[in-house]
Amino acid sequence: MRTLLVLGLVAGLLSVFAAPASAASPTDRKVAALAKQVTALQKQVKTLQTQVVFLRNETSANYAGDACALALVADTFQLTWAQIDAHSASPYFGAQPQVSDHGACSDIEPAVPRSLTAPPKTNIFQPLINWVYG
């Protein structure tokens, strides 16, 4: 009988101590869920930061390409006007200064040359096109 009583007492004590260990309180479950969300959000933030850096670089490259393209168009106009003036009795346009691309054509890799040679040719656009699709 004593053995049975001791076994019952031990079983009762074990169930009392085991119950709180296995059952988490509502606060503990909330904290665990929030910790899981924080981990997922930190991963999202890192991914978004990487995307922002990539998109900033792409936007900068786009601006450089646009500025270079406009400068090449201006060069073509300048050469065209110079040819018209060279073949007319009196100049219509006069000397035209080269438009500044603010270094955009040289910032592109590989650099896009801005060679002003008469008569104007459309092949000056090929290096820029190669850069866009390269």
Delimit the domains of the chain by residue range.
35-133
Lookup result for tokens 């866009």: 132
In which band, very low, low, confident or very high, does the pLDDT at 115 lie, cut at 50, 70 and 90?
confident
The set of residues, in sequence order, having a beta carbon less than 8 Å from that of 72 and lying 6+ positions away, is 105, 112, 114, 124, 125, 128
Q: For 87-121, where are the alpha helices, taking DSSP H only?
A: 104-107
Contact 124, 116 (CB under 8 A): no
Q: Are 90 and 127 in contact (CB under 8 A)?
A: no
The arithmetic mean of pLDDT across residues 8-35, rounded, is 71
User: Quick one: angle between helices 26-86 and 126-133, nearest 10?
Assistant: 170
Question: How far is residue 116's CA from residue 19's CA, in Å, rounded to a whole number?
Answer: 87
Q: Looking at the predicted structure, is the pLDDT value of residue 13 above 60?
A: no
Residue 7 pLDDT class (50, 70, 90 cuts): low
The secondary structure element, H or E, covering residue 52 is helix 26-86
Mean pLDDT over all residues of the chain? 87
pLDDT in tens, 71-88: 999 999 999 999 999 999
